């Protein structure tokens, strides 16, 4: 054994060599499941060379969410002004789409691009937004219709349970395919599913406001209110739940991680039920603050771990 091999082995265990570069320690079982040796980087399971999620993102691209918010808001205002000025109903669908998607899309862009590394494939995010939103709203609508007809009490709790579970179907499929190569994508995939659900739900509320009030002002107020509340609702709750679930396969103690994810899901359901069931601005502000702060902290922690270990 030469000097380099002796030093490497002494630092942490057996070594392996590709024949073209320096030898490195063979990853242990703990490292593969997300727990590196002291002073060493974590290698995602199935990626012992640490090549996944390697592309570094420049700082100006990490502000993409701000451009989405500014340009999207400007486009919405332009659509509204033209619609009011011309009275042409052809502009209403595009105004409704922009009003329902700009803020949730900004949050998704922030979650996906505010880190220094590219960690989630764009194609999968688009699929989760579209398919997850459609299937989630369909499943929730059908199940809620039957549930609300039968239940006398606990309706808000059941609605929260149904909607939070419906939003997880497509993200769980994505997790089964992506978690090895993209071990830090959970919160982004969850936010994508929450965005699709929230956008379609907001479009439904906006169209209902038009039918009931027959006024663009009512539609604009509905879209504005739901846009401001979007980061504190479906987007946050599904993002938090998927971030916890995504950690389970690579956790050293999977049962403990699974119980933790179940706890996060229960908290999301309770926050959802509190949002629907409690009246008054203070209650909604409290639920919203807890949800947004928890989501921002989770995104920060994921990006920090991704930068440190990826």
- For the cut 80, the answer to whether the pLDDT of residue 83 exceeds it is yes
Three-class SS of residue 148? helix
Distances (CA, A) of 18 to 44, 74, 140, 179: 19, 54, 52, 26
pLDDT band at 302 (very low <50, low <70, confident <90, very high): confident
Q: pLDDT value at position 142?
A: 87
**Average pLDDT, integer, range 293-301:** 93
* CB within 8 Å of 239: residues ≥ 6 apart: 111, 187, 188, 190, 191, 194, 295, 298, 299
- For the cut 80, the answer to whether the pLDDT of residue 50 exceeds it is no
Q: Tens digit of pLDDT for each residue in 4-45?
A: 444 444 444 454 444 454 555 544 444 444 444 444 444 444
| Better-predicted residue by pLDDT, 284 or 152 | 284
Q: pLDDT value at position 165?
A: 95
Q: pLDDT value at position 213?
A: 86
Q: Tell which residue, 177, 175, 180, 185, has the closest CA to residue 49.
A: 180
Largest alpha-carbon pair distance within the chain? Answer: 83
Highest mean pLDDT among 144-148, 213-217, 279-283: 213-217
- For the cut 50, the answer to whether the pLDDT of residue 172 exceeds it is yes
Highest mean pLDDT among 68-77, 144-153, 274-283: 68-77
Q: To the nearest whole number, what is the mean pLDDT of the chain?
A: 81
Rounded distance between C-alpha atoms, residue 242 and residue 9, angstroms: 38
Q: Comparing 20-29, 118-127, 186-195, 296-305, which segment has the lowest mean pLDDT?
A: 20-29
> In terms of C-beta density within 10 A (0-12 exposed, 13-18 middle, 19 or more buried), how is residue 204 classed?
middle
- For the cut 60, the answer to whether the pLDDT of residue 198 exceeds it is yes
Q: pLDDT value at position 184?
A: 86
Q: pLDDT value at position 271?
A: 95
**Average pLDDT, integer, range 193-215:** 92
Rounded distance between C-alpha atoms, residue 272 and residue 266, angstroms: 10
Rounded distance between C-alpha atoms, residue 285 and residue 271, angstroms: 12
The strand pairing partners of 127, in sequence order, are: none
Phi–psi pair at 151, nearest 5 degrees: -85, 140
- For the cut 70, the answer to whether the pLDDT of residue 310 exceeds it is no
| Better-predicted residue by pLDDT, 143 or 262 | 262
Rounded distance between C-alpha atoms, residue 254 and residue 246, angstroms: 11
Alpha helices in the chain (DSSP H): 3-12, 29-32, 64-86, 92-113, 122-127, 133-150, 155-166, 169-178, 186-213, 216-229, 234-246, 254-277, 281-309
| Better-predicted residue by pLDDT, 148 or 25 | 148
Torsion region of 214: left, alpha or beta (phi above 0 gives left; psi -120 to 50 gives alpha):
left
* CB within 8 Å of 230: residues ≥ 6 apart: 103, 104, 107, 198, 202
Rounded distance between C-alpha atoms, residue 222 and residue 18, angstroms: 60
Q: pLDDT value at position 307?
A: 64
pLDDT band at 281 (very low <50, low <70, confident <90, very high): confident
Three-class SS of residue 15? strand
pLDDT band at 116 (very low <50, low <70, confident <90, very high): low
Three-class SS of residue 47? coil
Rounded distance between C-alpha atoms, residue 163 and residue 160, angstroms: 5
């Amino acid at each position: 054994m030469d000097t380099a091999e002796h030093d490497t082995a002494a630092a942490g265990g057996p070594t392996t060599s590709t024949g073209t570069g320096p030898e490195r320690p063979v990853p242990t079982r703990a490292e593969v499941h997300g727990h590196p040796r002291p002073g060493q980087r974590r290698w995602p399971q199935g990626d012992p060379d640490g090549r996944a999620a390697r592309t570094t993102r420049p700082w100006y691209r990490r502000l993409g969410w701000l451009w989405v918010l500014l340009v999207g808001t400007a486009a919405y205002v332009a659509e509204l002004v033209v619609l009011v000025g011309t009275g042409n109903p052809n502009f209403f669908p595009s105004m409704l789409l922009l009003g329902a998607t700009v803020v949730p899309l900004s949050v998704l862009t922030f979650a996906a691009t505010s880190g220094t590394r590219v960690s989630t494939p764009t194609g999968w995010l688009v699929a989760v937004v579209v398919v997850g939103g459609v299937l989630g709203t369909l499943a929730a609508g059908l199940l809620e219709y039957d549930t609300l007809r039968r239940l006398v009490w606990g309706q808000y709790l059941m609605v929260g349970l149904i909607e939070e579970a419906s939003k997880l179907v497509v993200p769980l499929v994505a997790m089964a395919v992506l978690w090895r190569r993209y071990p830090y994508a959970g919160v982004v995939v969850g936010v994508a599913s929450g965005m699709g659900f929230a956008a379609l739900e907001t479009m439904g509320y906006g169209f209902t406001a038009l039918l009931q009030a027959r006024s663009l002002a009512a539609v604009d107020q509905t879209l504005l209110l739901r846009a401001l509340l979007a980061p504190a609702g479906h987007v946050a709750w599904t993002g938090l739940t998927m971030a916890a679930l995504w950690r389970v396969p690579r956790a050293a103690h999977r049962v403990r991680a699974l119980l933790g994810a179940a706890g996060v899901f229960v908290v999301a359901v309770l926050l959802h039920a509190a949002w629907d069931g409690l009246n008054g601005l203070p209650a909604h502000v409290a639920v919203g603050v807890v949800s947004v702060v928890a989501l921002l902290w989770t995104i920060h922690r994921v990006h920090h771990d991704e930068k440190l270990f990826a």
